[in-house]
């Protein structure tokens, strides 16, 4: 039997479905552009020359409480239509709002960069004793425009070797939490701040636990986090300017002997999929969080497309 739905029923169902979709994130009515799908994450950071950083996290709750909390992101960011946001132009405060001369003067004196400053959280310091941290910045990823902020965000979840270990050289790898590492945050602390498997440890804003990689040899778990070369790395940095390019290359090769070329680093899909190298359940993630981590929909945007347009998300 062919069912022809009357016009009103179709409308009703559409509205029902729409309210269902919107209802999933009903607290972000102003974010109809879906910006917070990505920008909700603390630790989204890009390094900026010479040695600064730019933070892209926008805390939803804090944004809502801010003077502009009821305004859709796209009202100010009117030129963001695709990802990566190629050619984002500066925000123009006087196009539709702040039209009076008094307002214009106020805006001219206002430091626009400060607008979201209270809505951001990120790590400012992390002490894991690794050789990597001697030479590399806390947020070392800059070359891949689309993925760099997301990769840098993982510094708060994973040790460097978890993604970079040479998996040809070490065949039997397993993943587990580190004990607490000293950390400092700007904004709200985030991540897992104590080893979830040691229940006696207190949650503290000054510590963090991350997932690390271990090599299993003769039934024994050996941490891959490189703390063996930390002294040598310091010595290298002290002598670096007196070394010839060839010597530098040779010594750097030593420090990276267990590290894959960056192209072979673990990619989004190798963790965020059903075939994840991480056993989320065994690591102690809840069933819901495990599903979220496996079916993460952002990873498709980062891995599949060079430029991704959001016909739905960004329709105005
Ligand atoms: C698919 C993920 C994603 C979505 C959706 C998204 N962004 Fe972004 N956005 C990013 C990433 C990643 C960066 C950092 C890019 C980089 O590393 O240079 C960024 C950077 C920015 C920047 C700073 C640009 C710069 O170079 O300084 C602004 C402004 C911005 N986004 C606004 C928005 C707005 C407004 C929306 C919604 C209309 C939005 N974004 C939606 C991922 C996203
Ligand atoms: C009232 C206008 C306004 C609204 C609304 C607004 N922004 Fe912004 N946003 C700005 C200004 C101004 C800057 C700083 C631009 C600059 O540095 O030149 C900025 C910068 C950013 C940046 C770059 C990081 C930074 O802080 O410099 C991101 C990411 C961003 N906004 C995302 C968002 C998202 C997501 C929303 C919605 C939840 C949003 N913005 C809503 C005005 C606004
Ligand atoms: C003595 C300083 C030093 C130490 C220690 C060090 N790195 Fe590096 N690393 C560098 C320099 C300099 C470069 C860029 C030059 C190059 O590619 O050799 C680099 C490049 C890299 C690259 C990019 C390689 C590529 O394919 O282009 C990765 C990934 C990397 N390091 C990860 C690590 C990890 C993980 C550790 C810790 C086990 C570490 N590094 C320890 C100095 C160091
Ligand atoms: C979530 C996995 C992940 C983690 C954790 C991670 N990296 Fe990477 N890293 C990558 C990927 C993927 C690339 C290759 C990016 C590209 O160019 O496509 C990369 C590239 C690099 C590069 C090349 C430079 C650049 O701009 O891309 C360096 C250096 C590097 N990583 C160092 C580190 C260090 C040091 C740590 C620990 C502080 C670390 N990485 C943690 C995944 C990771
Ligand atoms: C080595 C494994 C690994 C790789 C590679 C990896 N991730 Fe993740 N990712 C994780 C883990 C583990 C978490 C959750 C950490 C936590 O909440 O404690 C996470 C969290 C996230 C989250 C936050 C999800 C949430 O609901 O809290 C996003 C978004 C994300 N990853 C995106 C990416 C993208 C995009 C890439 C590729 C550029 C990537 N990840 C690569 C392991 C990985």
Residues of the chain with pLDDT below 50 are: 1-29, 311-316
Q: Is 158 touching ligand 5 by the criterion CB < 6 Å?
A: yes
Q: Whose CA is nearest to atom 37 of ligand 5?
A: 268
In a domain, 102, yes or no: yes
Predicted pLDDT at 313: 45
pTM for this one?
0.92
Q: What is the pLDDT of residues 99-144, one digit of tens each?
A: 999 999 999 999 998 999 999 999 999 999 999 999 999 999 999 8
Predicted pLDDT at 308: 63
Residues 6+ apart with CB under 8 A from 177: 192, 195, 196, 197, 209, 210, 211, 212, 283, 284
In a domain, 290, yes or no: yes
Ligand at shortest distance from the CA of 141:
4
In a domain, 186, yes or no: yes
In a domain, 6, yes or no: no
Q: Whose CA is nearest to atom 17 of ligand 3?
A: 252
Predicted pLDDT at 3: 39
Predicted pLDDT at 16: 34
> What are 7's two structure tokens?
């016009």
- The total domain count for the chain is 1
What gap in Å lies between CA 138 and CA 130, rounded to an integer? 12
Cα-flanking dihedrals φ and ψ of residue 186, to 5°?
A: -110, 135
In a domain, 14, yes or no: no
Residue for token pair 């894959």: 260
In a domain, 31, yes or no: no
**Residue 294's Cα: distance from chain center in Å?**
16
Q: Ligand 4 centroid vs 135 CA: distance in angstroms?
A: 13
In a domain, 130, yes or no: yes
What gap in Å lies between CA 109 and CA 127, rounded to an integer? 39
Domain span holding position 228: 36-309
In a domain, 10, yes or no: no
* Best mutation site among 56, 143, 299 for ligand 1 pocket (most ligand atoms within 8 Å of CB): 56
Predicted pLDDT at 9: 41
> What is the DSSP annotation of 113-180?
GGTTGGG--EEEEEE---HHHHHS-SS---S-TTTHHHHHHGGGTB-HHHHHB-TTT--SEEEEE---
What gap in Å lies between CA 122 and CA 145, rounded to an integer? 19
Q: What is the pLDDT of residues 153-197, one digit of tens each?
A: 999 999 999 999 999 999 899 999 988 899 999 999 998 877 777
Residue 212 exposure: Cα atoms within 13 Å on the Cβ side = 22
Q: Is 151 touching ligand 4 by the criterion CB < 6 Å?
A: yes
Q: What is the DSSP letter of 103?
A: H
Q: What is the DSSP letter of 264?
A: G
């Amino acid at each position: 039997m062919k069912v022809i739905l009357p016009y009103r029923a179709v409308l009703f169902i559409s509205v029902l479905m729409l309210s269902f979709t919107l209802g999933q994130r009903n607290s972000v009515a102003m974010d109809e552009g879906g910006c917070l799908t990505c920008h909700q994450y603390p630790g989204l950071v890009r390094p900026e020359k010479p040695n600064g950083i730019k933070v892209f996290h926008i805390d939803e709750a804090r944004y809502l409480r801010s003077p502009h909390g009821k305004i859709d992101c796209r009202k100010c960011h009117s030129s963001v239509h695709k990802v990566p946001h190629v050619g984002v132009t500066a925000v123009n405060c006087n196009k539709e709002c702040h039209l009076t001369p008094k307002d214009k003067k106020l805006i001219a004196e206002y430091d626009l960069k400060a607008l979201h400053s209270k809505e951001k959280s990120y790590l400012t310091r992390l002490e894991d004793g690794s050789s990597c941290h001697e030479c590399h910045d806390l947020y070392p990823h800059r070359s891949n425009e689309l993925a760099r902020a997301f990769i840098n965000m993982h510094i708060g979840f994973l040790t460097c070797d978890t993604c970079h270990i040479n998996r040809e050289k070490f065949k039997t790898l397993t993943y587990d939490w580190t004990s607490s590492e000293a950390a400092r945050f700007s904004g709200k602390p985030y991540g897992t701040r104590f080893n979830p498997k040691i229940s006696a440890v207190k949650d503290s804003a000054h510590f963090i636990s991350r997932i690390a990689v271990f090599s299993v040899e003769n039934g024994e778990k050996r941490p891959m986090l490189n703390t063996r070369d930390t002294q040598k790395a310091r010595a290298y940095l002290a002598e670096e300017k007196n070394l010839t390019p060839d010597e530098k290359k040779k010594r750097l090769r030593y420090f990276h002997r267990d590290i894959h070329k960056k192209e072979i680093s673990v990619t989004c899909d190798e963790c965020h999929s059903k075939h994840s190298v991480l056993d989320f359940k065994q690591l102690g993630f809840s069933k819901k969080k495990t599903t979220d981590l496996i079916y993460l929909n952002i990873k498709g945007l980062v891995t599949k497309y060079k430029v991704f347009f959001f016909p739905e998300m960004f329709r105005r």
